Structure 1
Amino acid sequence: MFEHKPRPEWTAAEVFLTDSVVHPDPALHRALRTAADAGMPAIEVAPNAGKLLQLLVQMAGARNVLEIGTLAGFSTIWMARGLPADGSLVSCEFLPAHAQVARENVDSAGLGPKVEIRVGPALETLAELAAEGRAPFDFIFIDADKQNNSNYLDWALRLGRPGTTVVLDNAVWEGAITDAGMDPVNAPGIIDALTMLGGHPRFDATVIQTVGSKGWDGFALARII
């Protein structure tokens, strides 16, 4: 199994920034605790990245958010908090057990009316959303199985609009983007997605490298044009 290897000083800096700037509240701590109690992998975004998602939702003026990959709802809570009172968020989660934990966490955070969690393969859910006329989404966050990253970006184009913000998590993957042999399962999908972001005429994008408790990674930030 591919392992991310954070350095102690990276984690220490992240803890300082979280405590001094981000200030996660009890609802967010609950999401982390319930994920651990349920045996979920600790692959949610770091708190400083979660707060970034909230700020990006607010800066984009988003009213309709799509999340691909719910886990325990940690990033869901951050983004839903960035929505206006009449905003909505749809999150796609493959595993029913994860969706149940996330539902409880979102409700505990007081965000239940804003958030819909759909269970099943995300590609099927995305097709359903299109058929239901739920588009366009103003903000799309992709943090799911890396093999389908390019498919998710394709759906982002279909379900978004000119001006939609798209964030793709795990865009550096411990440097495996320059050596796919480090992780032949996930790296090819990440590389294909980055190539798509850089070459597709409807995307304008960049990638930010990050370090912290999740190791050496990063995220792609794109705008649909």
Structure 2
Amino acid sequence: MEGFQISKNIWEQVDEYFIEKLIPTDSTLDHALQTNKEYAIPEIDVSPTQGKLLYLLAKIKGAKNILEIGTLGGYSSIWLARSLPENGKLYTLEVDPEHAEVARCNIQYANCSNQVEVIVGEALDTLPIFKEKSISFDFIFIDADKQNNPQYLKWALALSNSGAVIVSDNVVRDGHIVDSSTNDDRVVGVQKFMDLLKQEPRIESTAIQTVGSKGYDGFVISRVK
């Protein structure tokens, strides 16, 4: 590749290349990101390529009932909702009432309101509702406060159907995941989450490191036996 130079923003350039080739321009998703920005919601959504990955994984799974732990402004919620069949349902949990309201507006704009329910509150307080109502899931996306990842995994297992897919985001943390002396409670939460995955016989998993417009991170993909 004569003349090609690696630059600081090569990850972003490659992301833009893949988006141009594989993800058609989508005014609805663009609107969601712009609305989130206007309401000062942290720009920590999944990237377009990651959003489409979630969509494809849920679609390949044939998921009819999806749980998302961590809504933010609803960008990933829209991707997941679009994977659902007509009779499918997405429940998404958000701790911040203002974020949840923005998400509801974005989801309504995307014409997904009939299939998406945004539930406000601490996830560890709202997750028991599904157990009480005997609601189980084919696909679960964990993308909330990393400190509670171990508890989220336990709930995900309790609420999963056999063969369910669980995707957990932000597990690499710029490589800090391997720092055994870290004082970052987010990293510690992910490390404990990984320890649980290692010990838990009901689930099989792998981890993928990623680079791109969101920097250096990664995710875990799991299947419940």
Residues 1-59 of structure 1: CA deviation (Å, up to 9, x unaligned): xxxxx941101111111122112411100111111111111110010000000001111
Shift of 1:162: 1.5
CA distance in structure 2 between the partners assigned to 1:103 and 1:41 by the alignment: 17
Residues 101-158 of structure 1: CA deviation (Å, up to 9, x unaligned): 0001011001110000000000111011211222x10000000000000100000011
CA distance in structure 2 between the partners assigned to 1:27 and 1:180 by the alignment: 42
**Runs of 4 or more off by more than 2 Å in structure 1?**
180-183
CA distance in structure 2 between the partners assigned to 1:15 and 1:182 by the alignment: 33
Q: Which has the higher contact order (CA 8 A, sep 6+)?
A: 1
Mapped contact 1:180–1:187 kept (Cα < 8 A): no
Match in the other structure for 1:94: 95
Q: Which amino acid aligns with 1:141?
A: F
Match in the other structure for 1:31: 32
What TM-score results when the alignment is normalised by the length of structure 2?
Answer: 0.94
CA distance in structure 1 between the partners assigned to 2:79 and 2:181 by the alignment: 34
Mapped contact 2:182–2:188 kept (Cα < 8 A): no
Match in the other structure for 1:113: 114
SS in 1 for 2:211: strand
> Once the two structures are aligned, what percentage of the paired residues are identical?
44
Residues 147-194 of structure 1: CA deviation (Å, up to 9, x unaligned): 000100000011002101000000111001111556612100011111
Unaligned runs of 5+ in 2: 1-6
Higher Cα radius of gyration = 2
Mapped contact 1:147–1:190 kept (Cα < 8 A): yes
Match in the other structure for 1:139: 139
Residues 24 and 220 of structure 1: CA distance in aligned 2, closer, same or farther (over 3 Å): farther
CA distance in structure 1 between the partners assigned to 2:183 and 2:211 by the alignment: 19
Residues 119 and 141 of structure 1: CA distance in aligned 2, closer, same or farther (over 3 Å): same
Greater alpha carbon shift after TM alignment, 177-186 vs 191-200: 177-186
CA distance in structure 1 between the partners assigned to 2:85 and 2:108 by the alignment: 17
Match in the other structure for 2:195: 195
| Aligned-pair Cα RMSD in Å | 1.3
**Pairs within 5 Å for 1:152-163:** 152-163=152-163
Q: Aligned pair 1:211/2:217, yes or no?
A: no
The count of residues paired between Structure 1 and Structure 2 equals: 219
Mapped contact 2:94–2:121 kept (Cα < 8 A): yes
CA distance in structure 1 between the partners assigned to 2:64 and 2:186 by the alignment: 32
Residues 53-112 of structure 1: CA deviation (Å, up to 9, x unaligned): 000111101000000000010100001000001100000000000000000101100111
Greater alpha carbon shift after TM alignment, 24-33 vs 79-88: 24-33
Match in the other structure for 1:57: 58
Q: Aligned pair 1:79/2:80, yes or no?
A: yes
Mapped contact 1:7–1:215 kept (Cα < 8 A): no
